[in-house]
Chains A and B, each alone.
Chain A
Amino acid sequence: MADEAAHDLTAAYALDALAADDEQRFEEHLATCERCREELAALRDPVALLAYGVASPAPPPELRARILDAARAERSNVVPIRRRLPAALGAVAAVAATVAIGLGLWAASVSDDLDRERSVVAILADPGAKSIPLEGADGRVVVTGTGEAALVVSGLAAAPKGKTYEIWVAEDGKLLPAGVFDAKRERDVVRLTRPVRAGSGVAVTVENDGGTEAPTSKPIFTAGL
């Protein structure tokens, strides 16, 4: 998307008033546009205050217990708070996190590992990266000029118990393993552990926990295949 066309989407983005395709393009634009990131940051608070502009009846009392029960059931998903980082690394991490937030990844499962978090953001922010839409799911695979790749997928149901999602990269007619992930968020962002060469594609299957060396089931979605 040409920059000039994206600049004026900030307000609509802050209001959650962009259709999915515009939203995706704007998030990619944000990664490279300091001005829009600042503009967006300034609009977040007034937009959130609009929530107070409507009547607030009490929610049903059982909702509280339901949320807490569900949270308890998910407790294993919550990772321990970050270890204190050396100042320099902390600063880099803060920049990566800032970009991630600018990208709208409030709820995204950018890796908890800060090194990987930095690199996945770098991939998404790479102005030369190619975006390949997913077939069979909502999202895309972003591939940089050097083949580094990240999968962005929205609305994926959690893998069944004992199962995981595994990513595959097509190479020489074979599917090679490129990492596993669990869908836990509204939008998952996963860095591929294997480069994606030009003209190559990506598939995702459901496998047993821990992943396998070769797919044992049909892909549930693909990109560029």
Chain B
Amino acid sequence: MTAATTLIAWAGPAPPRSRHVPPDVAHLSDEALIALAARGEESALAALYDRYGRVAYGLALRVLRDAALAEDAVQEAFLAVWRSAHRYIPERSKASTWILTFVHRRAVDLVRREERRRADQLTDVDAVLGGIVDEEAWLRLERERVQTALRKLPDQQREAIELAYYGGFTQSELAERLGQPLGTIKSRMFTGLARLRELLTEPDHDPELWQTKRPTT
């Protein structure tokens, strides 16, 4: 690590503050924003959307591969955040994790309802998403970090995790699709996630993945 590099004590990505946010809440932590949202403070929800709306939309688009459905998933997820804000417990989970859990859940619910993915190949995604020129720099760095971690997994573990998380497949569907016993799929997902956790959330484990410039805000 050089002087020019910062080792981030990883507390989740630090998205840049958005220019849309009224100045009175833009400086607040995610946790404080959720507490304000629990009191019905709309500008707090707006600020959370400005921080996580983009990654939420990217995730929903990846799972659903349809812009209108992705918007629906994001909208429902943020409304779920709004309704459930008073139940959020900061000690139990990071705000970003809490919010993105809603988003993924809604996207997967929708993709299963639509059965869209069954007709599509997962590899078509890049075509759908192609030509993104305005992606924010910190998101690109973060994407590279996650993708590097995924590439460090054995192929079969990576495949199981990607098809489950980005494809919305259930473990039983994966077993069938990959022609493997269910137990094999379960153990690939578990071992892969445990390794991913080491790679992404434990800084000592793989310093290479942690030396990243803090996004400018």
Interface residues of A (CB under 8 A from B): 8-12, 14-19, 22, 41-60, 63-64, 66-68, 70-72, 74-75, 77-82, 94, 97-98, 100-101, 106-107, 110, 112, 184-186
Contact = CB atoms under 8 A, between A and B. Distances in A.
Nearest to B43: A68
B95 to A, nearest CB: 10
B25 interface: no
B7 interface: no
A19 B172 contact: yes
Given A56-B139, A57-B129, 6 more contacts: A48-B94, A48-B104, A49-B146, A52-B146, A53-B143, A53-B166
Interface in B91-113: 91-94, 96-98, 100-106, 108-109
Contacts of A98: 89, 92
A174 B70 CA distance: 46
Interface in B174-217: 174, 183, 186-187, 189-190, 192-194, 196-197, 200-201
A63 B67 CA distance: 11
A54 B101 contact: no
B54 interface: yes
Contact of A19 (B145, B170, B189, B200): B170
Main secondary structure on chain A at its contact with chain B? helix
Given A71-B45, A78-B82, A51 B55 contact: yes
27 contacts: A11-B192, A12-B164, A12-B171, A15-B193, A19-B172, A45-B93, A45-B201, A49-B12, A49-B196, A49-B201, A51-B55, A53-B146, A53-B147, A54-B62, A54-B143, A56-B139, A56-B143, A57-B135, A67-B74, A67-B79, A71-B42, A77-B83, A78-B39, A79-B86, A97-B89, A106-B105, A186-B105
B118 to A, nearest CB: 14
B193 A43 contact: yes
B26 interface: no
Contacts of A82: 86
A51 B82 contact: no
A150 B98 CA distance: 25
Contacts of A48: 94, 96-97, 100-101, 104
Contacts of B67: 60
Contact of A57 (B45, B58, B100, B106): B58
Given A15-B164, A19-B172, A67-B75, A107 B84 contact: yes
A49 B166 CA distance: 12
A112 to B, nearest CB: 7
Contact of B79 (A9, A15, A43, A70): A70
Contact of B197 (A46, A57, A59, A79): A46
B159 interface: no
B150 interface: yes
Contacts of A44: 93, 97, 101
A1 to B, nearest CB: 14
